[in-house]
Amino acid sequence: MNHRWIQWLFIHLYLSIYLMGQFPSVNQIVEAEDAFLQDSIVVKRDPSARNKHFVYMPEKQGSVTFQVEVGTTARYALYIAYRSSDADNAQHILINGKEYAPEIGFSVSRNWTEIRHSAGLKTGQNNIELRASWGNMDIDYLRITGPVFDPPEITPVQNFYYKYQNDTDLVIQLEKNHNAFANITHNNRTVPFQSDSVWYLEDAVTITIPSRFLDTLQDGRTEFVFNFNHTESIPFHLNVCESAPEPDWTIISLDVRHGTAVLMCLPNEKTLLIDTGTEAMCKKNVLPFLDRHYIILDYLWITHHHADHDGGVPLLQQKYPDLVMTDYHDYQTDERFDFEGIDVLILNSHSDGNDTAGENSRSLSFRMAYQGFVYTHGGDIYGENQQRILKSYTRKNRLDLLKTHVYHANHHFHGSVNISYLKTIDPCLFLVSGEEHIYGRAAYTHHVKQTVLPFLRDNNHRLIEDLLPFEVGHVVIRVQNNKNWQYETYYHLDKKIPFLNPQSQSRRDHYDINP
């Protein structure tokens, strides 16, 4: 267990004891059949339910409002007992009439189970409403405990800043989680910043530190400290440089919201785009990025044919007449080959899917390696595909081939995931291309955030963080080898990324795309 995580555990224990001593504790259960039921909600009998009754919530019809009373304004843990036999689903949750996250996700479960969601409640009576959205679900009860302590978090936890290259401010997202935020300091000096609320999270802000302050910093790795009134501070590390190393391989996860577009500048100056995003996102973010950086696109891989992955194909084919496009039909599972200096291993392809599981199950997933550095692309495969991959490489006694430095999340962490697979691949960095609704998907909020990430931090000591491009912007990974690689985030999507010159002057001259 790493040192910082041990510190968090002690802080969590201390503050939990502190909160229990300062405020009256709550541990109450409200049966769903005793809640305020609207529209199509029906009470049913079942001996396995806690009070032998539950309520049935049909898709997009009705709501269940629980009334609870607490002794003090604080953060509480809400445990919803539910059953969802057919598939994962998501429902709206409103606290005293306000919806902070687009939805809350519930994993498929044929038996009664609880899912945890924490929220701020006010002294006195509170209304907690579950409003039907996506998927049928049975609800048994709501259990409330607290007050509870959830530590604050920042994303990203580190970054690079190239002095004098542009006027880009530094943007960091801070989830306060009802911890009183004091200030930011650097070498015991207060740092100027602007704070703006994040609409889809209950207690989060974006912090903007101006470039005029960043230009005053000395070169090298430096630390900013996010300070709080009653909990441990959070360090943020910034590498201040005047230039970037010349990488052999550059990987750029473009922010295309719910969709995927990953650009690669390969060791031999050729370029590859993995998926295009939707047509609208390709027009808005992908094509302008290519133009802004004078990039000639050579190859396009389409993992599968859904609009959020192949919507921009006609636009790219029109712009680049010599573009070589392939898709999941052109590769076979377990096929291994050299691609322009990169070692590629296909983990999932069209033949692994079926009509029942649908197009996502046929999606390409693959491993790419260079000088010991490994990038794994999850495509839109499901947990069942991951389970098959895990079994296959266990039988081969080659689980080492699954271990990766960067994992581009399968199906935006919207669909099912196999927890054992995610633990086995042991990435340093998760890239999750999605949008606000990811906070209403159980695959991310429950399986990844509450199970996989803590396990990797406690046991493997490689995990740095998980990054969501819709929150942090384009993610740029510069690779020389497995010992020398770095990543950066660019929140301002219309800015030019410094030192991104993937193609030689002679090649740009040939295509007449010079600035």
Q: Considering just the CA atoms, what is the radius of gyration of the chain in Å?
A: 24
> What's the pLDDT tens digit per position in 269-297?
999 999 999 999 999 999 999 999 999 99
pTM of the shown model: 0.92
Q: Percent of the chain scored above 70 by pLDDT?
A: 92
Paired strand residues for 90: 105, 134
> What's the pLDDT tens digit per position in 190-213?
999 999 999 999 999 999 999 999
CA distance 176 to 17: 20
Pairing between β-strand 36-38 and β-strand 63-70 as defined by DSSP bridges: antiparallel
Amino acid at 509: D
Say whether domain 25-146 belongs to CATH 2.60.120.260.
Answer: yes
* DSSP letter (8 states) at residue 269: S
pLDDT band at residue 85 using 50, 70 and 90 as cut-offs: confident
CA distance 486 to 483: 10
DSSP string covering 386-450? HHHHHHHHHHTT-GGGG--SEEE-GGGGTS---HHHHHHH--SEEE----GGGGG-HIIIIIIII
* Contact yes or no for 352/333 (Cβ under 8 A): yes
CA distance 315 to 285: 13
> What's the pLDDT tens digit per position in 408-460?
999 999 889 999 999 999 999 999 999 998 998 999 999 999 999 999 999 98
pLDDT at 19: 46
CA distance 475 to 481: 18
Domain ranges of the chain: 25-146, 153-241, 249-511
Which of 84-98, 254-268, 419-433, 461-475 has the weakest average pLDDT? 84-98
pLDDT at 26: 86
Structure-token pair, residue 77: 């843990």
3 state SS of 42: strand
DSSP H or E run through 267: none
CATH topology of domain 249-511: Metallo-beta-lactamase; Chain A (3.60.15)
CA distance 483 to 481: 5
Q: How many residues does the chain have?
A: 515
* Contact yes or no for 141/50 (Cβ under 8 A): yes
CATH of domain 153-241: 2.60.40.10
